[in-house]
Amino acid sequence: MERIKSINPERIIWCCDDYGITPEELAQTLKIAYPIIQRVMDGIDGLTFNQLSKIAEYFGRGVLFFLESAPVDESKAHTTQFRTLANQKPELSVKIKKLIKRVEEQREIYINLCNDLDDLDRPAYIPPEVPDQNPAIAARIAREWLSLAEKNDFDTYRSAVESKGILVFRSNGYNGNWQIPKEIPILGFTLYDPICPVIFIKKLNPETRQSFTLMHELGHLLLHKESSIDDENDLQSHQGRERDANAFAGRVLVPDDFLMKIYDESRPSDVSRYDAWLENQRKTWGVSGEVILRRLLDSGRLAQNQYTAYRQWREFSALEPETGGSRLYRNREPNHIFGERYVKTVLDAVNSKNITLAKASSYLDGLKIKDLHLLERFYEGL
């Protein structure tokens, strides 16, 4: 079989270093005999087109990337946002790096579709002016900007954020391109862009945990105007920008006037009963008991030892198990992953004959054509 011999081995090495793997591990992952890879590294032999395509797909690159003779220009190989996230978390896994690139690609697709449709009704991202050193005031301004009512859940929070020109993506529960495995501690990330920022949220149970991650990432957008990637430690941090994003999120979800509706004298002495005590507020506001208790702690209405005891109880309690959910409604999964704003834009592009059904399918997580038609009918019925 004919082999391509004009491969630049330095580009393979650069990609391996970028992903934190060795050429030997690459060969093992892609089921290519390592001696074949080694001969390419030594400039002795080449690869078949199929082998080179597997390497290119693994690294999220085109085949031509590995045929260029020039050294890799990292400023062109990665976006500024990608480099920002990678610098914040140097230990990022290959899966998360691929996910970030995939999100960037979806954003470009969305922007290009919006430009082709020339739809002036689609919201532009025009963030409010907020004081970056005062999360409390920033949260009040943001809540008004989002037009949030008192009763909410993750879907209404997501819709409010999307209505301001921000894409909100969420991982799914299935092994695939859009999953963050439960063993990976990343809970969300933000890709800052002055025109079309993106927030990505890890699917969590209970869903109220996603609401806090969403507002934490929105805090990075509005307060810091930068990309950020966050794990559980960041969402518990009491230092620097993570502290400010946490304070912002807590006050957006539970503003001061909400706290006035909680009566301290009815608080049970047993921390295991706190969730039941706050049940009405948790369900109405669409937040976890921990968010409310954190706000009470910060306002001086709950002792640190009580809050700590609650967190310890929650940590060792049986949480609602994570599940992948039923695939009975496969046609609606793109809405779960990419959000209504993105999905409707793709469908509008199909209806305007700007893209084919096959192209729309590729933009919507490989949705089959029959499911794509079901998705169209679902939106027609809304």
- What pLDDT, on a 0 to 100 scale, did the predictor assign at position 382? 58
Number of domains in the chain: 4
Residue 289 located in a structural domain: yes
- What pLDDT, on a 0 to 100 scale, did the predictor assign at position 321? 44
Number of helices and strands in the chain (H, E): 19, 4
Both 194 and 144 in one domain: the answer is yes
Residue 45 located in a structural domain: yes
Both 132 and 61 in one domain: the answer is no
How many CB atoms are located within 10 Å of the residue 199 CB? 28
Both 278 and 152 in one domain: the answer is no
Structure tokens, 157: 């929070």
Classify each residue of 154-191 as buried b or exposed e, where b means 16 or more C-beta atoms within 10 Å of its C-beta: beebbebbbebbbbbbbbbbeeeebbbeeebebbbbbb
Residue 87 located in a structural domain: no
Both 101 and 249 in one domain: the answer is yes
Domain assignment of residue 162, given as a range: 93-253
- What pLDDT, on a 0 to 100 scale, did the predictor assign at position 58? 92
Q: Are 293 and 254 in contact, with CB atoms under 8 Å apart?
A: no
Q: Give the separation between CA 306 and CA 326, rounded to whole angstroms.
A: 38
Instruction: Supply the DSSP symbol for 220.
Output: I
Both 115 and 248 in one domain: the answer is yes
Beta strands 186-191 and 167-170: pairing type? unpaired
Q: Give the separation between CA 1 and CA 47, rounded to whole angstroms.
A: 9
Both 237 and 181 in one domain: the answer is yes
Burial of 369 (0-12, 13-18, 19+ CB in 10 A): exposed
Q: Are 205 and 220 in contact, with CB atoms under 8 Å apart?
A: no
Residue 4 located in a structural domain: no
Both 122 and 191 in one domain: the answer is yes
Residue 31 located in a structural domain: yes
Both 114 and 215 in one domain: the answer is yes
Both 150 and 260 in one domain: the answer is no
In tens digits, what is the pLDDT along the chain, a chain of 382 residues?
A: 689 999 999 999 999 999 889 999 999 999 999 999 999 999 899 999 999 999 999 998 999 999 999 999 988 889 999 999 999 998 898 889 999 999 999 999 999 999 999 866 788 999 999 998 999 999 999 999 999 999 999 999 999 999 999 999 999 877 788 999 888 999 999 999 999 999 999 998 889 999 999 999 999 999 999 999 999 999 989 899 999 999 999 999 999 999 999 999 999 999 999 999 999 999 999 999 999 999 999 999 999 999 999 999 988 875 544 445 555 578 889 999 999 999 999 999 999 999 999 999 999 999 999 999 999 888 876 5
- What pLDDT, on a 0 to 100 scale, did the predictor assign at position 260? 94
Instruction: Supply the DSSP symbol for 67.
Output: G
Beta strands 167-170 and 198-201: pairing type? parallel
How many CB atoms are located within 10 Å of the residue 38 CB? 15
What is each CA distance from 116 to 122, 161, 357, in whole angstroms? 12, 23, 16
Residue 69 located in a structural domain: yes
Residue 3 located in a structural domain: no
